[in-house]
Chains A and B, each alone.
Chain A
Amino acid sequence: MIPRGVRYALSGISWPLYALLYTPLALVAYYSFAPAPNEAGHSLHAYNVLLHDGAAFTALRRSLILAIGSAITSTALGTLLGYGLCRFRSPNAKGVLAHLPSLIIYTPIIMPSLVFGISELIFFNLVHNATGFLSAGLETMIIAHITFQVPYVALTVYARLAGLDPYLFDAANDLYANGLKSFLYLIIPVVQPAIIGGFLLGITLSIDDFTISFFTAGPGSVTLPIYIYGAIARKGISPEINALGTLMIGTIITLALVHFFITRHRDRAGQFAARGNIT
Chain B
Amino acid sequence: MSASASPAAAAAAPSPKRGAISIRGITRIFAGSVPAVDHVDLEIHAGEFFTLLGPSGCGKTTLLRMIAGFETPDEGKILISGRDMEDVPAHKRAVNTVFQSYALFPHLNVEQNIGFGLRMKGVKTPERKKRVDAIMEMLQIGQFATRSAAQLSGGQRQRVALARALVNEPEVVLLDEPLSALDAKLRNELQIELLRMQKRLGMTFIFVTHDQHEALVMSDRIGVMSKGKLEQVGPVLDVYEKPKNVFVAEFLGLSNIWPITSSGAHSAASPIGELSIDAPLNGANMAMIRPEKIWIYNDTAAPKDRANLFFGTVREAIYMGAATQYRIELAGGHSVLAFDTNNQATERSWRPGEKVAVELKPDNIMLISP
Q: Smallest CB-CB separation from A192: which chain B residue?
A: B107
Give Cα A121 to B214, complex, Å. 68
Knowing A270-B150, A272-B151, the reply to whether A173 touches B91 (Cβ < 8 A) is yes
Q: Closest CB-CB distance, B144 to chain A, in whole Å?
A: 11
Question: Which residues of A from 149 to 185 have beta carbons under 8 Å from B?
Answer: 164-165, 167-168, 170-178, 181, 185
Q: Decide: A170 and B148 in contact? CB cutoff 8 A.
A: no
User: How far, in Å, is B61 (CB) from chain A's closest CB?
Assistant: 11
Contact B97 A276, beta carbon cutoff 8 Å: no
Return the CB mask of A181-196 against B: 1 if under 8 Å, else 0: 1000110011010000
B153–A175 CB distance below 8 A: no
Cβ-defined contact, A190 with B107, below 8 A: yes
- In A257-275, the 8 Å CB interface with B consists of 269-270, 272-274
A-B contact pairs, 7 of them (CB 8 A): A92-B32, A165-B101, A176-B168, A177-B91, A272-B151, A276-B151, A277-B150
Interface membership of chain B positions 27-44, coded 1 if the CB is closer than 8 angstroms to chain A and 0 otherwise? 000111000000000000
Interface residue B99 (Cβ < 8 Å from any Cβ of A): yes
> Which B residues are within 8 Å of any A CB, using their own CB?
30-32, 65, 68-70, 89-92, 95-97, 99-101, 103-107, 116-117, 119-121, 148, 150-153, 164, 168
Known: A165-B101, A276-B151. A175 touches B120 (CB 8 A): yes
Closest residue to B33 on the A side, CB-wise?
A: A92
Tell me which residues across on chain A come within 8 A of B105, comparing CB atoms: 168, 171-172, 186, 190
> With the chains together, A279 CA to B164 CA distance in Å?
24
- Contact A174 B68, beta carbon cutoff 8 Å: yes
A178 touching B152, Cβ below 8 Å: no
- Residue contact B107 to A189, C-beta cutoff 8 Å: yes
Docked CA distance A185–B153 (Å): 25
* Cβ contact of B121, chosen from A165, A176, A192, A273, cutoff 8 A: A176
B148 touches A273 (CB 8 A): yes
A185 and B120 contact, CB distance less than 8 A: yes
Distance between Cα atoms of A210 and B65 in the complex (Å): 52
Q: Which residue of A lies closest to B174 (CB)?
A: A174
| Chain B residues within 8 Å of A270, by CB | 150
| A52-86 to B contact mask, C-beta < 8 Å, 1/0 | 00000000000000000000000000000000000
CA distance A164 to B105 in the complex (A): 10
State in angstroms the CA–CA spacing of A181 and B90 once bound together. 13
Q: Which residues of B contact A173 (CB under 8 A)?
A: 69-70, 89-91
Give the interface centre of A164, A170, A192 by most chain B CB atoms within 10 Å: A170
Name the residue of chain B whose CB is nearest to the CB of A275.
B151
Minimum distance in angstroms from A87 CB to a CB of chain B: 13
Task: Identify the closest chain B residue to A190 (Cβ).
Answer: B107
Contacts of B69 in A (CB 8 A): 173
* Set of chain A residues within 8 Å of B92, measured between Cβ atoms: 176
Contact A170–B91 (Cβ < 8 Å): no
CA–CA, A92 to B31, complex, Å?
A: 7
Instruction: Kindly report which residue of chain B lies nearest to residue A182, judged by CB atoms.
Output: B91
Provided the pairs A165-B101, A176-B120 are in contact, do residues A190 and B106 lie with their beta carbons within 8 angstroms?
yes
